[in-house]
Each structure stands twice: as C-alpha cells, then as structure tokens.
Amino acid sequence: MSGRAEGRGGGRGRGGGGRGRGGGYKGRGRGGRGRGGRGGRGRGSSNDNDQQHKHSMSNGSSSPPKRFRNDNAAADENMVPSHGFEATTTKNNAPIPMDTDEAATTAPTTAQLAHMTQHKFANLQISSESRKAMAEVFKYEYMTAVQAETLPLILKDDTDCLAKAKTGTGKTLAFMIPTIEKILINKRKNSNDINCLVISPTRELAQQIGAETKKLLTFHQAHLRKVVICVGGTNKNKDVRALQGTTPIVVATPGRLLDHLKDGLANRMTNLSCLVFDEADQLLDMGFRPDIERILALLNPSAQTRQTLLFSATIPPTVTEIAKIAMHPKYHFVDTVGKDSEQTHERVQQQVMISNQEDQVRSIMAILERETNNKPYKIIVFFTTARLTGFLAELFNSVSSQTGYKVLEIHSRKAQKARERASEEFRKSKNAVMFTSDVTARGMDYPDVTFVLQVGLTDRAQYIHRLGRTARAGKEGKGGLLLSNYEEAHMVKKELKGMPLEPTPINVSVKTSAVVEQAKQNVGKDKTLRVSAEQAYRAWLGYYNGHLKKVRWDKKLLVQQANLWAQQNGLSDQPALQKRTVGKMGLKGVPGLRLE
C-alpha cells in the first residue's frame, strides 16, 4: 500500500491527527499516511457515457417505468410488487411530473424512440450552472426515461434509491445531477471533506463517469470542479497528491478505493453527502462483495447523513442484500426496465456457430472476414481469459496486412493508459475490431457496434450483457456465439436454452486458410508472440480446469485438449508449467504435462 514514503512534512489531522509522510491524507480523526508531495488535480480523460438525444419520444412508444417504495422487502427479478412494497406511481402509471407542462416539440428519429421522454432538463429544479451545462455542453434538451423517472425522486429529498436501469440510457447524469446539487447545498469552500463517492466495477467506466461529471461541472465554481479518479493500474502516489486539498468528488474502483480508505481517506468521508454504486450487479458478479462490505464498514460514520444510490441493470438477490447493508430500510425502488424491455436481447439476431478446436482461429478469422466486408463495421469479440485475448489480438495483428484490419485489445493485462487509448480509438472509428475480456461487457457505451462475437463458454447473464453492446438505442446489430464442439451441449441445450440462436455455417475461404497458416508460422518466428501463446496456453488450461463438468472432461482429457490447443496455435512443444501451479490445479501426475 502507498502509505509510506521518503521525506517528511505530512498534514496534521484535527482532533489528535497524526503526522503523515510526504504529504498524506488530511483527516479529522487520525492523520493518514501517504506518499507524494504537493497535491494536484486528478487526471483521466475519458469518453462520454450513456447515449443521450435532444429529441422527444412520441406518445405510446413504450410502457412507462414502475416505481415502488421498499419497506424491508427485496425486489424480485421481474419487479412485481410483493408484500412490503407500496406503489407510489402517479395517475395512469406516469412518471412524477416536472414543474411545468412539457409538450413534445420535435419529431424523434427511430434510434431515439427507445429511451427518450417528453420531459425537459430546463424544467428541473437544479442550479443554473448545471442547467447551462446540459444545454450548452451536452446539448441535451429532453431526458431519457431513466432520468425522468429518477431525477425528481432523488432531488426531492435525501431518501436512498435503488434503480433498475439499462446501460446506455443516461444513468450517469441521473445520479450525478442530484449529487452535484447536494454538494452545492453542503459544501464549504475550504472544507477538506469529500462530499461524493462513486464506485464503479471497471477502470474504463470510472474514467467515463469522471469525464461526464467534469462536463457537468463546466460552469460551476472552480473549487467544485475537481473530480479525482482512483483506479487500479495507475500510480497510487498520483492519487494521493490529487486527493490533497478540496476534493468534492471521487470516482473509484473497489480495490484502489479500499487501499486509500485504509490509509486514512475514510477520515475525510465522515460527512459524505452521496454514495453511488454504478453497475451494482456487475460489482458483485466480479467478486467485489468482500471489498464492498469492507468499504461500507469504513464509511459507516457517514451512514446517517449520506444519500446512497444504487444503479443496476438487473436486481439479483446479491444486489438486494447489499442494498440492505448500504441503504436506509425505507429506500425507494425504481424500475425503468420492466418485463417487456428486459427481453430486448431476444429480438436481436443471434447466430451460433460450431467448430472443431483445431479450426477455431480459422473460424474466427472467417467470421471477421464476413463481417468486415459490410462497411461501416464496429465489431467486439469476447474471449474467456485476458491472456487468450492478448495472444489472439497479437496473432491477428501479425497478419493485418493480409486481413485488412487492425485489432484493438482491452483486457486486464493491458496497462490502463493503453486500455484508454484503445477504448477511445474504438469509440471514434467508423470501422474497427476489438478483442476483449469482460472489462467491456458492462458499463461502457460504444456507439454503433454492428456485431458482437462471443467465443467459448459463458453463462446466460454474461451472454446477455455482452450481447447488449450491439443494437443499442434502436439501432441495428447482431450477435454471434462461436463454440468448440465440446462446448455445444452445455451452452445450447442447457445454459442458453430458449434463446433464439440460429445455427449458422462457417464458410472459410482459401485465402483465410492461408492467412491463418501464416499467422501460426509467425508464432514460431516471433519470440514475443511465442511467449504470449505460452501464457495463453496456461490460462486456457486453468480456465477449462474450472469447467470440466460443463465440457464433460476428466483431467487427462483436459491436458490432451490443452496440448492440442498449443499445437494448433503454432507452438512446437507444450509450454512448461511450474510444479506449484500443477499442484494448485490438481494436475499432479496427469500425463502429458511438461514441468519446469
């Protein structure tokens, strides 16, 4: 942890605060320790979040959202009011009205019908600075359904709110607009308190939220415009320096946030005005629950004064359990999805393609050849592990002169700056291909994705989340699922049973076969590519070792298939494994492994 540093001269905390080294966190109780020197502004440029449009939605285009008040009862997945919920919708199940009449003035486009309403930002009771930013910086006139349904409720009082809302429907503004209003009410210019904390599951989404917030603060006073983004993969010392002085808003990922809280940052959050969890279900899916519980324990002194907001695309039991810990028992529940909207993924064209393992790379290249012939194209390909993602991106880029496209890559093994550059390039490009792991499955809103290809095992929820990268806001798009023959039974007959999967043949051209062979030869010639292939082999072995029942293998067959994978991907010998790794995977004594 970045608590210790060379040099002296830390800030003193009030009420018996200790002395930190090198400019630590300033606290009210104990002084925290941290590295670094003088404070600076947090950086982290990113991309706009949540698609938004200027036009209104025509009458009758969709059923209105539902709103319930929770009294110690969890919402079920279908959002049907159960015992303990008191309906608080307005007449005709319409959203809470704004301050003035809002008639539609402009005809909407097809893409805008999915999420837009007739409610205007200009009619919200918010600061003139925020209203000006909406009109002049964002250039938004009308609210999305998520914004129209949640903003009046959150602005009305300090009641906690759990909102079920899809990604790409304007969630960031739905929680940041009221958050900034609360900061304006509670913030003292020279106060060292942090007023707002936003927790995001991924670095990319955190950067995106930060960028949106900075735009929203454009016309506010300078001391309110500081937004610090704290994510893994970046220098902790820079965080410490950025967090010094007046810091109204912090956006963070759980791991990095927990580090800072333990080092004393929690002392500056005792008067937190607003705590936000974005993509709450994804936070829990990614295994952050222990970190979330530790964070909440450290933030407990602020529980009586803060407003807590949870936004989530789905509301599984894990989310309601966290809501019980983090929120006041009588929190508001808002459903902006509804039953009908929940099934939009079933209306997207979905292809399922089966190949032998030895033909998988050839199949991927053939599918991409087909899809890149239809310009403009924007394609996302999901793989099971970060190492596999990185290797295949390098492999495809080694023959990019033959394929005619470059592959961008985003995964946890890439440095944060590289991920940001790839994300920005993919967003801005008219024609682009991106290989990725699940860091982009949720939260990020890339415009105009034409095709999503998922390779290998997944579960139903993850499949739907990934598919949700395409056909957004009424636009066209389709999905594909590429499985090896040993994955077909589990995925098609069990995991995705009932999904509208269309069996689709894979047509591999002579040219594609030749290019794949060239790529495999490159593995033997290029040391960097060979090392990447060896790392992918180990990751592949570890991944399927955890899914033996799904593919109906024993340990011996697993090793045989892994060695076949190595051979088919250009490696002359299977890579060596450490004895410790073999032991941890329970593969000791299994024939076919090579030990270091």
Q: Which residue did the predictor score with more confidence, 443 or 182?
A: 182
What's CA 533's distance to the chain center, in Å?
A: 27
Cα-trace Rg, the chain: 25
The highest-confidence range among 46-60, 64-78, 365-379, by mean pLDDT, is 365-379
Q: Which residues contact 178 (CB under 8 A, 6 or more apart)?
A: 151, 154, 155, 274
Averaged pLDDT for residues 3-28: 39
Look up the pTM and report it: 0.59
DSSP state, residue 354: E
Q: Quote the pLDDT of residue 350.
A: 95
Q: By the 8 A CB rule, do 341 and 66 touch?
A: no
Whether the predicted pLDDT of 14 surpasses 50: no
Q: What is the pLDDT of residue 95?
A: 36
Q: What is the DSSP string of 408-425?
A: EEE-TTS-HHHHHHHHHH
Please say if the pLDDT value at position 127 is more than 70: yes
Write out pLDDT tens, residues 209-239.
999 999 999 999 988 899 999 998 889 999 9
Mean pLDDT in residue range 310-335: 90
Most confident of 67-71, 163-167, 341-345: 163-167
Q: What is the pLDDT of residue 230?
A: 97
| CA–CA gap between residue 250 and residue 192 (Å, rounded) | 13
Q: Write down the mean pLDDT value for the chain.
A: 81
Express each pLDDT in 240-267 by its tens digit. 999 998 899 999 999 999 999 999 999 9
Q: Which of 157-166, 247-256, 314-323, 342-351 has the highest mean pLDDT?
A: 247-256
Residue 433 belongs to what H/E stretch?
A: strand 432-436
Q: Is 592 left (phi over 0), alpha (psi -120 to 50) or beta?
A: left
pLDDT(125) > 50:
yes
Position 256 scores a pLDDT of 96
Q: Across the strands, what pairs with 378?
A: 432
Residue 306 has pLDDT above 60, yes or no: yes
Q: Is the pLDDT of residue 88 over 60?
A: no
Banded model confidence at residue 112, pLDDT cuts 50, 70, 90: very low
Taking the CB of residue 182, how many other CB atoms lie within 10 A of it?
A: 18
Alpha-carbon gap, residue 108 to 527, rounded angstroms: 54
Query: How many helices (H) and strands (E) would you count in the chain?
Result: 21, 20
* Beta strands across the sheet bearing 196-199: 85-87, 66-70, 332-335, 161-164, 307-312, 274-277, 196-199, 249-252, 227-230
Taking the C-alpha atoms of residue 75 and residue 162, their distance in angstroms, rounded to an integer, is: 10
Find out whether 175 and 276 touch, Cβ atoms under 8 Å. Answer: yes
- Cα atoms in the Cβ-side hemisphere of radius 13 Å centred on 134: 26
Q: Which range among 90-94, 266-270, 500-504 shows the weakest confidence by mean pLDDT?
A: 90-94
Domains of the chain, CATH where assigned: 66-341 (3.40.50.300), 343-581 (3.40.50.300)
- How confident is the model over 380-425, as pLDDT tens digits? 999 999 999 999 999 999 999 999 999 999 998 888 889 889 988 9
Looking at per-residue pLDDT, the higher value among 191 and 174 belongs to 174
Of the pLDDT bands very low, low, confident and very high (cuts 50, 70, 90), residue 189 is low
Residues 6+ apart with CB under 8 A from 523: 395, 529, 530, 533, 569, 570, 571
Average pLDDT over residues 76-105: 31
Is the CA virtual torsion 119, 125, 126, 130 positive or negative? Answer: positive
Q: What is the pLDDT of residue 199?
A: 97
pLDDT band at residue 62 under the 50/70/90 scheme: very low
Model pLDDT, residue 346: 65
pLDDT at 520 over 60: yes
Report yes or no: 130 and 216 within 8 Å, Cβ to Cβ.
yes
Which tens digits make up the pLDDT trace of 478-488? 999 999 999 99
Residue-wise pLDDT for 267-301, tens only, equals: 999 889 999 999 998 888 778 899 999 999 999 87
Is the predicted pLDDT of residue 27 greater than 60, yes or no? no
User: What is the pLDDT at residue 72?
Assistant: 36
Percentage of the chain exceeding pLDDT 90:
59
Average pLDDT of the residues in 310-330? 89
Judged against a pLDDT cut of 60, whether residue 578 lies above it is answered with: yes
Q: Which pLDDT value is given to residue 194?
A: 93
pLDDT at 39 over 60: no
